[in-house]
């Protein structure tokens, strides 16, 4: 099943925003019992981007520690996955390339297919490394999820970026073949070009997600993948963490297994820790799940992990990875926890102001307030151009 060369995730780092809105504040505003959020959808808080943060600043912040550790010499490709893109033509990755000081001899592209995009980027990266094992590929998944105020989706918002260095002889997770694939034309979630906030049919999205779980698993097993019992854990896309539980329960049902609550928690419980307090990070979600699992679990050396990546509309993929011996020496557990703990709490009024704020489209000079304490910031929109700064 595995290819001749071991290729996979050599390093992984994530970043999130300056601010956080606890779901207790949202519940108080809505007059809602907080258990609807804490238990019903499995969310505790959501990351909120500062006025001077966007997918570029988050992506650069996630990738900077990887560059600091490994340098730039072997990176010849940057693949930026997002569904909250800032430009219809220019890749957000080009701005990150500049902020990080990467060499000019680099290809940079942006990939889009709802929340699935980062997995497409990972598979693209594996193909490039297989073709030329002397290079590494920087994959960045960065998103800010946004729904209408007072809508059902509001409580699932979030903001984060995950950066992964993909290369030969990986230090963290070896990605294995085959992949199970599934695509169906459904309108469960979409964002037309004229809208800042996404549109979502919540029940249709859950149905489409579960259909994709079944479809990808069927294709995966038909192509000779692992049996279900060979996996030690599963990383699902988490639009809200309770969805991972629904998805795994559906997979167990599909395979004729008992849907024991304790077994489901054992398989996915540790993957939800970061998503529960960050919220939906779209393309980054599955890999935040992986970060949480690697940072918390007992020794996973040699264990198989199942990945289910789902993007509305819809495209999905199921694939496997095996954890590499010595992986714990390369984790960024302390930095990841600091990224979450450093966020400053917002009250609902401040969150609402940030949510409603947008740049005028007149091409004027529109500086931002200096709010982020991070290394990278969006300083202004000037002459229709985004101006970034590095502190």
Q: Residue 379 pLDDT > 50, yes or no?
A: yes
- Quote the pLDDT of residue 90: 97
Q: Residue 225 pLDDT > 90, yes or no?
A: yes
Q: Which two tokens stand for residue 335?
A: 């930095």
Among residues 23, 237, 248, 336, the one annotated as catalytic is 237
Q: Annotated catalytic, 330?
A: no
Neighbours of 88 (CB within 10 A): 6
- Quote the pLDDT of residue 1: 34
Q: How confident is the model at residue 200 (pLDDT cuts 50, 70, 90)?
A: confident
344 three-state secondary structure: strand
Distance of CA 149 to the CA centre of its chain: 22
Average pLDDT over residues 197-221: 93
- Quote the pLDDT of residue 5: 77
198 vs 208: which has the higher pLDDT: 208
Domains in the chain, please, with CATH?
A: 7-390 (3.40.47.10)
Where are the extended beta strands (E) located within 153-230? 158-168, 173-183, 189-190, 199-200
Q: What is the side-by-side order of every strand in the sheet holding 7-16?
A: 107-111, 75-81, 136-145, 158-168, 7-16, 173-183, 315-323, 304-311, 231-236
Q: What are the pLDDT digits (tens) for 15-49?
A: 999 999 999 999 999 999 999 999 999 999 999 99
Q: How confident is the model at residue 196 (pLDDT cuts 50, 70, 90)?
A: confident
What is the DSSP secondary-structure string of 276-341? HHH---GGGHHHHHHHHHHHHSSP-TT-EEEEEEEETTTEEEEEEEEEPTTGGGG--HHHHHHHHH
Q: Which two tokens stand for residue 287?
A: 């890999």
Among residues 18, 53, 83, 154, the one annotated as catalytic is 83
Average pLDDT over residues 224-236: 96
- Quote the pLDDT of residue 259: 87
CB 100 within 8 A of CB 65: no
- Quote the pLDDT of residue 95: 98
| Mean pLDDT of the residues in the chain | 96
Among residues 115, 176, 248, 355, the one annotated as catalytic is 115
How much of the chain exceeds pLDDT 70, in percent? 99
Q: Annotated catalytic, 237?
A: yes
- Flag the least confident range among 134-138, 168-172, 182-186, 199-203: 199-203
Q: What are the pLDDT digits (tens) for 300-345?
A: 999 999 999 999 999 999 999 999 999 999 999 999 999 999 999 9
Instruction: Provide the β-strand partners of residue 380.
Output: 367, 387
What is the DSSP code (8-state) at residue 224? Answer: T
Q: Residue 59 pLDDT > 60, yes or no?
A: yes
Q: Annotated catalytic, 83?
A: yes
Neighbours of 320 (CB within 10 A): 23
Q: How confident is the model at residue 3 (pLDDT cuts 50, 70, 90)?
A: very low
Q: What is the pTM of this model?
A: 0.97
- Quote the pLDDT of residue 197: 85
Q: How confident is the model at residue 4 (pLDDT cuts 50, 70, 90)?
A: low
Average pLDDT over residues 348-373: 96
Q: What are the pLDDT digits (tens) for 148-178?
A: 999 989 999 999 999 999 999 999 999 999 9
CB 97 within 8 A of CB 81: no
């Amino acid at each position: 099943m595995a290819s001749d060369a071991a290729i996979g995730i050599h390093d992984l780092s994530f970043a999130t925003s300056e601010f956080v809105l606890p779901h207790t504040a949202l519940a108080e505003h809505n007059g809602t019992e907080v258990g609807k959020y804490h238990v019903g959808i499995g969310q505790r808080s959501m990351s909120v981007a500062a006025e001077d943060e966007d997918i570029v600043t988050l992506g650069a912040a996630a990738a900077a520690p990887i560059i600091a550790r490994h340098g730039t010499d072997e990176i010849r490709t940057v693949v930026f996955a997002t569904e909250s893109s800032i430009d219809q033509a220019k890749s957000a990755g080009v701005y990150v390339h500049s902020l990080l000081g990467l060499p000019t001899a680099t290809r940079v592209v942006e990939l889009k297919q709802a929340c699935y995009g980062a997995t497409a980027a990972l598979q693209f990266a594996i193909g490039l490394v297989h073709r030329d094992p002397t290079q590494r590929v920087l994959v960045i998944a960065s998103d800010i999820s946004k729904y209408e105020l007072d809508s059902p989706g509001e409580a699932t918002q979030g903001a984060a970026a995950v950066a992964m260095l993909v290369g030969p002889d990986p230090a963290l997770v070896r990605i294995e073949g085959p992949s199970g694939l599934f695509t169906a034309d459904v309108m469960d979630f979409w964002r037309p070009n004229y809208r800042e906030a996404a549109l979502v049919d919540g029940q249709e999205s859950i149905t489409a997600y579960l259909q994709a779980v079944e479809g990808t698993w069927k294709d995966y097993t038909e192509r000779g993948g692992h049996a279900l019992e060979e996996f030690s854990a599963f990383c699902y896309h988490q639009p809200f963490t309770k969805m991972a539980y629904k998805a795994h329960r559906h997979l167990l049902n599909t395979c004729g297994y008992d849907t024991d609550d304790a077994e489901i928690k054992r398989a996915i419980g540790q993957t939800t820790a970061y998503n529960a307090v960050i919220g939906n990070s779209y393309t980054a979600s599955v890999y935040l799940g992986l970060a949480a699992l690697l940072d918390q679990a007992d020794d996973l050396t040699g264990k198989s992990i199942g990945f289910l990546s789902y993007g509305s509309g819809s495209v999905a993929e199921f694939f496997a990875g095996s954890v590499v011996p010595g992986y714990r020496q390369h984790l960024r557990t302390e930095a990841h926890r600091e990224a979450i703990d450093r966020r400053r709490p917002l009250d609902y009024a401040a969150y609402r102001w940030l949510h409603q704020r947008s740049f005028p489209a007149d091409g004027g000079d529109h500086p931002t307030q200096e709010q982020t304490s991070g290394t990278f910031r969006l300083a202004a929109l000037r002459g229709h151009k985004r101006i970034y700064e590095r502190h």
